[in-house]
A and B are shown apart, each in its own frame.
Chain A
Amino acid sequence: MKALLQLTDIRKSFGAVRALKGVSFELFPGEVHALLGENGAGKSTLIKVITGAHLPDGGTLVVAGEEVSNLSPSKARELGIACIYQQPALFPDLTVAENIGLRLKKTGVLHRVRWASQRTQAVELLHRIGAEISPDSEVRSLSMPEQQLVEIACALGSGARIVIMDEPTASLTQKEQHLLFKVVRDLRASGVGVVYISHRLEEIFALADRVTVLRDGESVGTNAVESLTEAQMIKLMVGREVSSIYPPSEGEPREVVLSLKNLGCAASGVTGVTLDVRAGEIVGMAGLVGAGRTELARILFGITPADSGEIYLNGERISISNPREAIARGIAYVPEDRRRHGVILEMPIAHNMTMAIHPKFFPGSILRFKAESLLARDFIRDLGIKAYGPEAPGGSLSGGNQQKVSVARWLATKPKLLILDEPTQGVDVGAKSEIHKIIRGLAKEGLAVLMISSDLPEVLGMSDRVAVMRVGKLVELISKENADAHTVMAAALGTNGKDAA
C-alpha cells in the first residue's frame, strides 16, 4: 500500500536548540498511528512541520506519493491535512453551522452565504460523527468536548485524508471519549490516516495500530502496538526503566484534618458532600468532567463559598468566604489551569513562590529579595525543579516544572490541607512520576491531600481512598483495596458497570 504521508530525515532547529534531529515517520491510509514522547521530545514541532506551520531545515515530506516543498498551512489544507488541537479554534459568537461553513467554503468577499445548504451540510457532518449538537447553537454555549466534535466535523467535511489529533481526550468525559473513539475508528474504516497524540497510554492501546516514540528530537522506533507492553512503551519514552510507576503509601493515616458535613453550594451545583480527610492520607477525587470535583475544591478554597452544610478544620468549625481566608486557615489549592492560574509566566519563579505568603513572609509589606531567593532555592532543590535559578521566568520552564513551581507556591504557605486539581495534566511521563513522589512525600510528612484527577490509573495508583463524585454529589467512597477501574468508573457513570471501560 502506498503511504499517505512519508517524512524522511526531517530536521528542524530553533537557534541552538535542535528540536528534530532527523525524524522519519510514515502514515498509511486506514491507520491510526500514535505519536508518543515526553514534553519537549519534538512531537509538536513534528506536527507543525506536517501542518505547514514550520518549514523543516532538511529532509523530505511526501504526501500521497508527491514530494512537497515549502508547505504552508493553506497548502496543507488543500492536500487534505487537518489538525484538531487540544483547544478548539472556533469562533465563539457564531453558530456551529456558520463555523463549519466558514471553515469549508473558500469564498470571495462578495459571495452570498447559502444559509440553507450551509445548515444542511452541518447537520449531515454532525450526524456522520454521531454528535448530538444543534447546528444553530452558538459555539460559546458548547462544552469543550462538543467544540472538539465540531472541529472533527470540519476536518471530515473538508475531505481530509490525514487527520492529526493532539491530545483530543484531555478534557473529555468517559462517555465522550467513547464517542470520540468511535469517530476515530470510523475515520480509519473510511481510509483516513490518523496521527494520534496522547499522554494516556491506555488510549493508545485501545485505539492505535502502530506507535512511533520520539525522544529528544529523534525517533526511537516505530512498533505495532500489540507488540509492546505499557512498561516497554514508557521505557522507550523516557529511555530508562520506571521501576514502580506509583510510590507506595506508607504509614497509617492520623487525625482528621478536614471534615465536611452535608456541604453544598447552590450556585456551583454541589450538594450534600460529607467527607473526612486525614493527615497523611491522599484522597483521590474521581468522576466525570463536570461532576463537581473542581467545584468542590473551589468551595473549600472560598472562591465560590458554601451556602449549606458545615466545614471543620482540625475539629474547629469554620467558614471560608474568600481565598485569603482559606490560605490563612491552612488550605492550599493548586489549580487546574497551570499556565494561566498556577504560575504567572512573566514573573520569576521566586516571585511566583511567594505569591500566596505575602502578608506572612513580608511583614510591613516591604519585599525582602534575599530571603525570597533563598526560599526559592530551597524549593528548587527539594522539588527538583529544572530552572537556571530563582530569577528564571515561569514561562521559561517546561510544563512539569511549572507545575512544581505551582506546588511550591502552596507548600510555602505551610498548609494543613493540600488540594491538587489535575496535578499531572499535560505533564510528560518522567515529570509525572516525580510529581507523584512529591505528593506522596508530602502526605508522609503529615499533610492531608485531596487530589482531583481524571487520569484513572493515577487516581487508583496514588489514592489511599477514592471519593467518586457524580452530578454534584459524592456518591461513593472506595478504600484502596476495593478500588479498581471498574468500580470507580461504575460509580462515576452511575451504572452497575455495564458501560464502564
Chain B
Amino acid sequence: MNKYFRELTVAAALGLLMLGLAILAPHFFQFQPFISRLTSQMPALVAAIGIALIIISRQIDISIGSQFSMCAIIAGVTAASGLPLGVAIFAALGAGAMMGALNGVLVAYLGLPSIVVTLATMVTWQEALRLWQQGRLLNLPKGIQWFGLSQPAGQTIVISLAFILLIGAAWAMKNLAAGRFIYATGTDAEAARLAGIDPKRTTFGVFVLMGILAGLAAVFNLVQSPQVQPNCGDGLELKTIAAAVVGGVAISGGRGTLWGVLLGMLLLANVNPALTHFHQPPYWEKAIQGLVILLAVVADGIRSRKARL
C-alpha cells in the first residue's frame, strides 16, 4: 500500500467536501468569510504541529490547552500593562517554553509517563489561572488586535506565518537529523540510544518546542479579538490530537507526517461551517467529527492487522 495512503484519503475526503460545497453552497467560498474562518483555525494548526511531534516521539501532552490559556493571559496582562506588543509576544513564548521544559524534565529525565505528568500540569495551570483571574474576561488595549494593523493585513500575517511554520517544520522533519531522531526515538527509544542518539534530549526538546508553539498559537488567537478569556484553550488538546490521528500520525509513535496533520485539521475544522452552509443543524458537528476519528482509528487497526498477518 502507498506510504502516503492516509494523507491521500484525507485529502480526497477534504476535496470531496469542498467540491460539494462549491456546487451546493458556493457562498462558502466568499472571500472575506472564508479567510476569517481560515484565520480562526490557524492557532489550532500551530499547536497541532507541536502535538504531532509529541505523538511521533511516542509521548502525549494533554496540558497544551492549559499552556495555551496561560500564555494568552500572560501576553494579555503584559500588553494590558502598557508594554509593547513585542514584549507580550516574547512573554507568551517564554512562558510556553518554561511550561514545556517542566513537562520535558519530568518525562524525559525523571522517566515519568507523559499522560500523568501532563494531566498534572494541565490541572495545575488551569487552577492557577482560575485563582489569578477569577474567571474574568481580560480586555486588551487597542494596538493588539491584528497587530495594530488593518484586519486583512493581520489575517495575512497570521495565515502566512502559520503556513511558513508548517512548511519549515515539515522540511525539518524530513531533512534534518533532528527529525530522524524524533522518528527513531518514537519507534524505540532504547534502539535509538544504542545507536548513539540521546532520546532524553530529543524528548525534552520536543516538549519545549510544544510549549513554544502553544505560546505562539496563543498569540495568534490573542490578536484576533479585543478580549481574552482565561479558559480560551479548553479543548485544544483534543482538537489537535484528533487532527493528528485523522491525519495518520500513529498514536504508538514513530510514524506520521505534518501534511497529514494539516489535512486532518482542515477536515475536522470544516465540519461545522459545512453544516451551516448545507443548512443542517450544527448539533451534528461533534458526532460527525467523532465518526471521522473513528474511521481513522479503524483504518489504522485494519492496516496493522494486515501488517501482522
Q: Do A and B bind each other?
A: yes
User: Chain A residues in contact with chain B, CB under 8 A?
Assistant: 14, 301, 303, 322-324, 326-327, 333, 335, 340-342, 344-347, 351, 355-356, 358-359, 362, 365-367, 409
CA distance A340 to B180 in the complex (A): 17
| Pairwise interchain contact A409-B176, C-beta atoms closer than 8 A | no
Chain B nearest Cβ from A452, distance in angstroms: 15
| Pairwise interchain contact B178-A333, C-beta atoms closer than 8 A | no
Chain B contributes a number of interface residues (CB within 8 A of A) equal to 23
| Pairwise interchain contact A409-B195, C-beta atoms closer than 8 A | yes
| Pairwise interchain contact B194-A303, C-beta atoms closer than 8 A | yes
Q: A365-B176, A366-B175, A367-B177 are in contact. Are A347 and B184 (CB under 8 A)?
A: yes
Given contacts A335-B194, A358-B197, A366-B176, 19 further A-B contacts (CB under 8 A): A14-B309, A303-B194, A323-B196, A324-B198, A326-B196, A327-B196, A342-B191, A344-B187, A344-B188, A346-B255, A355-B180, A358-B196, A359-B177, A365-B176, A365-B177, A365-B178, A367-B175, A367-B177, A409-B195
B230, CB-defined interface residue at 8 Å: no
Using Cβ atoms and an 8 Å threshold, which residues of chain A touch B254? 346
Using Cβ atoms and an 8 Å threshold, which residues of chain B touch A346? 183, 187, 254-255
B193, CB-defined interface residue at 8 Å: yes
Closest Cβ neighbor of A14 among chain B residues: B309
9 A-B pairs with least C-beta separation: A365-B177, A355-B195, A327-B196, A341-B191, A358-B177, A324-B196, A356-B195, A356-B196, A323-B196
| 18 A-B pairs in the complex with CB atoms less than 8 angstroms apart | A303-B193, A322-B198, A323-B193, A323-B194, A323-B196, A327-B196, A341-B188, A344-B184, A344-B187, A346-B187, A346-B255, A347-B183, A355-B184, A358-B177, A365-B176, A366-B175, A367-B176, A409-B195
CA distance A333 to B196 in the complex (A): 10
Closest Cβ neighbor of B254 among chain A residues: A346
CA distance A409 to B192 in the complex (A): 12
| Pairwise interchain contact A340-B177, C-beta atoms closer than 8 A | no
Using Cβ atoms and an 8 Å threshold, which residues of chain A touch B180? 351, 355, 358, 367
Chain A nearest Cβ from B177, distance in angstroms: 4
B127, CB-defined interface residue at 8 Å: no
Give a binary string over B150-180; 1 marks a CB under 8 Å from any A CB, 0 the rest: 0000000000000000000000001111101
Using Cβ atoms and an 8 Å threshold, which residues of chain A touch B178? 365
Q: A344-B184, A346-B255 are in contact. Are A333 and B176 (CB under 8 A)?
A: no
Q: Please report which residues of chain B, range 192-222, place their CB below 8 angstroms from some CB of chain A when the two chains form the complex.
A: 192-198
CA distance A394 to B41 in the complex (A): 39
Closest Cβ neighbor of A323 among chain B residues: B196
Using Cβ atoms and an 8 Å threshold, which residues of chain B touch A365? 176-178
Using Cβ atoms and an 8 Å threshold, which residues of chain B touch A327? 196
Chain B nearest Cβ from A14, distance in angstroms: 8
Using Cβ atoms and an 8 Å threshold, which residues of chain B touch A367? 174-177, 180
CA distance A346 to B255 in the complex (A): 9
Chain A nearest Cβ from B194, distance in angstroms: 5
Chain B nearest Cβ from A440, distance in angstroms: 24
Using Cβ atoms and an 8 Å threshold, which residues of chain B touch A342? 191
Using Cβ atoms and an 8 Å threshold, which residues of chain B touch A14? 309
| Pairwise interchain contact B197-A355, C-beta atoms closer than 8 A | yes
CA distance A351 to B254 in the complex (A): 14
Closest Cβ neighbor of B176 among chain A residues: A365
CA distance A367 to B174 in the complex (A): 8
CA distance A323 to B199 in the complex (A): 12
Chain B nearest Cβ from A336, distance in angstroms: 10
| Pairwise interchain contact B176-A344, C-beta atoms closer than 8 A | no
Using Cβ atoms and an 8 Å threshold, which residues of chain B touch A344? 184, 187-188, 191-192
CA distance A362 to B175 in the complex (A): 10
Using Cβ atoms and an 8 Å threshold, which residues of chain B touch A359? 177
CA distance A303 to B194 in the complex (A): 8
CA distance A14 to B309 in the complex (A): 9
Closest Cβ neighbor of A368 among chain B residues: B175
| Pairwise interchain contact B195-A340, C-beta atoms closer than 8 A | no
Using Cβ atoms and an 8 Å threshold, which residues of chain A touch B195? 323, 355-356, 409
CA distance A49 to B193 in the complex (A): 39
CA distance A347 to B192 in the complex (A): 12
| Pairwise interchain contact A341-B194, C-beta atoms closer than 8 A | yes
Using Cβ atoms and an 8 Å threshold, which residues of chain A touch B196? 323-324, 326-327, 355-356, 358
CA distance A324 to B194 in the complex (A): 9
Closest Cβ neighbor of A335 among chain B residues: B194
Using Cβ atoms and an 8 Å threshold, which residues of chain B touch A366? 175-177
Using Cβ atoms and an 8 Å threshold, which residues of chain A touch B194? 301, 303, 323, 333, 335, 341
Closest Cβ neighbor of A322 among chain B residues: B198
Closest Cβ neighbor of B186 among chain A residues: A346
Q: Please report which residues of chain B, range 42-89, place their CB below 8 angstroms from some CB of chain A when the two chains form the complex.
A: none
Chain A nearest Cβ from B203, distance in angstroms: 16
CA distance A367 to B175 in the complex (A): 5
CA distance A362 to B196 in the complex (A): 14
CA distance A303 to B175 in the complex (A): 29
Which of B183, B191, B196 has the most CB atoms of chain A within a 10 A radius of its CB?
B196
CA distance A284 to B236 in the complex (A): 57
Chain B nearest Cβ from A48, distance in angstroms: 11
Chain A nearest Cβ from B239, distance in angstroms: 27
CA distance A323 to B198 in the complex (A): 9
Chain A nearest Cβ from B57, distance in angstroms: 14
CA distance A367 to B184 in the complex (A): 15
Chain B nearest Cβ from A241, distance in angstroms: 37
CA distance A362 to B181 in the complex (A): 13
Q: Tell which of B176, B187, B197, B198 touches A347, judged by Cβ atoms closer than 8 Å.
A: B187
Using Cβ atoms and an 8 Å threshold, which residues of chain A touch B198? 322, 324
Chain A nearest Cβ from B60, distance in angstroms: 20
CA distance A340 to B187 in the complex (A): 9
Closest Cβ neighbor of A298 among chain B residues: B194
CA distance A71 to B19 in the complex (A): 50
CA distance A301 to B191 in the complex (A): 14
Closest Cβ neighbor of A302 among chain B residues: B196
Closest Cβ neighbor of B181 among chain A residues: A358
Using Cβ atoms and an 8 Å threshold, which residues of chain A touch B192? 344, 355
Chain A nearest Cβ from B76, distance in angstroms: 37
Using Cβ atoms and an 8 Å threshold, which residues of chain B touch A333? 194
CA distance A365 to B172 in the complex (A): 10
CA distance A362 to B194 in the complex (A): 19
Using Cβ atoms and an 8 Å threshold, which residues of chain B touch A340? 188, 190-191
Using Cβ atoms and an 8 Å threshold, which residues of chain B touch A323? 193-196
Closest Cβ neighbor of B178 among chain A residues: A365
Chain A nearest Cβ from B305, distance in angstroms: 14
Closest Cβ neighbor of A328 among chain B residues: B196
